[in-house]
Structure 1
Amino acid sequence: MDIDRARTFLEIVHTGSFLKAAERLHVTQTTVSARIRMLEEELGRRLFVRNRNGARLTSAGVEFERFAQMFVQVWERARQQLAVPSGKTGVVSLAAELSLWNPLLVEWMAGIRAGEPRLAVRAHVGVPDQLVEELRTGTLDVALLYSPQLLPGFEVEPLIEERLVLVRATARGPVPGSLSASPSGSPEEYVYVDWGPAFSAQHGAQSASFGEAGTFVGFGPLGLAYLLRAGGTGYFRRGMVTPFIEEGKLELVESAPSFTYPAFAVYPEDSKRRREVHSALAILRKYLASEAADQASLGSLAL
């Protein structure tokens, strides 16, 4: 089976449209149609039913999807393994969404270097939809995600359950050399940080408690930097703001509700059998267990 035909098939499944698949693959719709026609001829089965709303899978197409997925993933793994750097025995491809790269992805990479020095690592940061797509096509082995989609054939392993807490910037004076002589926002301006659909749903039920947001931010570290610079209140991961609370730059709004914010490792079910992925996941779990033990120790000391 031709790899381009398999990729095209999966892209149509993902987008629900021959036209959208052509746009994402940067080919013409005629090329997409030709690839699917040849694939159907090879298999002797019709895979899609086309209609005005796009395309839907036939029963044969539903059965074929998992095989196409495996084929593309195996191809990508073979391509990656053939490109293993000299002196290394294997390679693992990792990624995290923006709010998870620091410290989790950084510590994970450092742990692999210390525990599996002959394992090469390819790592990057991306938005959730992009990372899920890379998992689906086999270009990525493991993704660290908040609120991941439940995909057939993929493991979704809980890692940590952080809490989003409301913090307030403490009073501060003018910043020398800044664009304004005083902070640009009121200390009580509410800064809404988009932590994803789950947070939005939880937050919406409590929205009257926070007042109308004056600033909307789609990236947690950017929102925190703005809050520290301009003042105000906003929701952030507890681990992210703890150092600033200890320094006196932020204070916890004790009366405000907090929200759960769990993180997960997502990877293909069969990838656990690969030595590289198995070793990498074991190192990640060991790091998280150590962190949990440290937090428990600090909690007992505080009591």
Structure 2
Amino acid sequence: MNLAAIETFLAVTRVGNLNRAADEMNVTQSAVTARLDALEQALGAKLLNRSRKGATLTKAGYAFLEQAELIASTWSNAKAQANLPRGVTQLFSFVCAPSLWPKLSESWIEGLRRDHPDTAIEIWTGLKDDAQRWLQSGVSDAALLPEPITGPDYDHRIFSTETLIQVSTVEREAVRWDPAYIFVDYGPAFRAQHAAAWPSGETASLSFSNPSWAHEYLLKHGGSAYLPERMVREDLAAGRFFAVKGSTTFTQRSVLSWRKASEAAFSWLASN
């Protein structure tokens, strides 16, 4: 099967239009059409509904999309392995939940670079579904998430347990509801704890799934939110933020999961 045809299929799926995909790939529209025709013929199924208005996935196209992404990612990984910098002998592919990167995973990666100069590192952002798919396919070696990836082919360990505190850009005590409150979503466990601790019927008018974005927003526009203590320590010391007096604190656990097959190359995965 032609890799160019798969990459063309992914490009058309991403932009929803054959002309735009052709421009993006710097080829003619007829080349895009020929590649798609060849791919559909090889698979024996129609993948896209094509019209002047654009292109949409068929049922078979949806079924093939995940495999196409894996094939393209595996090829990209293989090229990276074959073109490692001088002095580097292996590539460590790592998936990190966005909320766990600033000053947590970031510090760990810096330590790995210092202690293992023969290892190149690539970092992907993703949540559990993406990470599990990438680990299962062998595209990635390990993932840092709020919950473990389990199964006979994986192992995991607690990476960290940290405190989430409510901070505000004005000094105040806890109140039933702050109109300037910003909700940061750390996942199902946090949502349940948050609802139990703050049973107000009010809903925040602004929410983020990434605490770094919430942190930046607070600095620019003010308000309050629950943020990791590691992220706001300097802001508290400088008086940019204030810990909300009397507010409930929460804990967030992060778990490092990895492919058992990767342990031979990266024995430090299991180290605390």
TM norm structure 1: 0.55
Amino acid of the structure 2 residue aligned with 1:19: G
Amino acid of the structure 2 residue aligned with 1:251: A
Cα separation, partners in 2 of 1:42 and 1:242, compared to 1, 3 Å: same
Cα separation, partners in 2 of 1:127 and 1:72, compared to 1, 3 Å: closer
Matched residues in 2 for 1:210 and 1:204: separation? 9
Which residue of structure 1 lines up, in the alignment, with residue 5 of structure 2? 5
1, 16, 27: which is aligned to 1:19? 16
Which residue of structure 2 lines up, in the alignment, with residue 181 of structure 1? none
Query: Does the 8 A contact of 1:108 with 1:283 survive in 2?
Result: no
Which residue of structure 2 lines up, in the alignment, with residue 99 of structure 1? 99
Cα separation, partners in 2 of 1:99 and 1:67, compared to 1, 3 Å: closer
Bigger Cα displacement from structure 2, 1-10 vs 222-231: 222-231
Amino acid of the structure 1 residue aligned with 2:59: R
182, 202, 216: which is aligned to 1:192? 182
Matched residues in 2 for 1:39 and 1:217: separation? 39
Which residue of structure 1 lines up, in the alignment, with residue 261 of structure 2? 273
Amino acid of the structure 2 residue aligned with 1:78: A
Unaligned runs of 5+ in 2: 173-177
Unaligned runs of 5+ in 1: 173-187, 290-303
* 1:93-124 Cα deviation digits (max 9, x unpaired): 44545432222232222332344221123447
Cα separation, partners in 2 of 1:226 and 1:79, compared to 1, 3 Å: closer
Which residue of structure 2 lines up, in the alignment, with residue 80 of structure 1? 80
Which residue of structure 2 lines up, in the alignment, with residue 46 of structure 1? 45
244, 247, 250: which is aligned to 2:242? 250
Compare the two structures and name the one with the higher helix fraction.
1
Query: Does the 8 A contact of 1:164 with 1:236 survive in 2?
Result: yes
Query: Does the 8 A contact of 1:156 with 1:264 survive in 2?
Result: no
Which residue of structure 2 lines up, in the alignment, with residue 165 of structure 1? 165
Matched residues in 2 for 1:79 and 1:171: separation? 53
What is the SS of the residue equivalent to 1:191? coil
What is the SS of the residue equivalent to 1:111? helix
Matched residues in 2 for 1:216 and 1:69: separation? 30
Which residue of structure 1 lines up, in the alignment, with residue 175 of structure 2? none
**Percent identity over paired residues:** 23
Which residue of structure 2 lines up, in the alignment, with residue 301 of structure 1? none
Instruction: For residue 22 of structure 1, report the CA deviation from its aligned partner.
Output: 7.2
Instruction: For residue 46 of structure 1, report the CA deviation from its aligned partner.
Output: 1.8
Cα separation, partners in 2 of 1:73 and 1:265, compared to 1, 3 Å: farther
Matched residues in 2 for 1:212 and 1:66: separation? 35
Matched residues in 2 for 1:234 and 1:122: separation? 31
* 1:128-180 Cα deviation digits (max 9, x unpaired): 69x87x959988665545589x9xxx9796744545332345749xxxxxxxx
Matched residues in 1 for 2:89 and 2:190: separation? 44
Cα separation, partners in 2 of 1:140 and 1:20, compared to 1, 3 Å: farther
Instruction: For residue 86 of structure 1, report the CA deviation from its aligned partner.
Output: 0.9
27, 43, 56: which is aligned to 2:59? 56
Query: Does the 8 A contact of 2:184 with 2:226 survive in 1?
Result: no
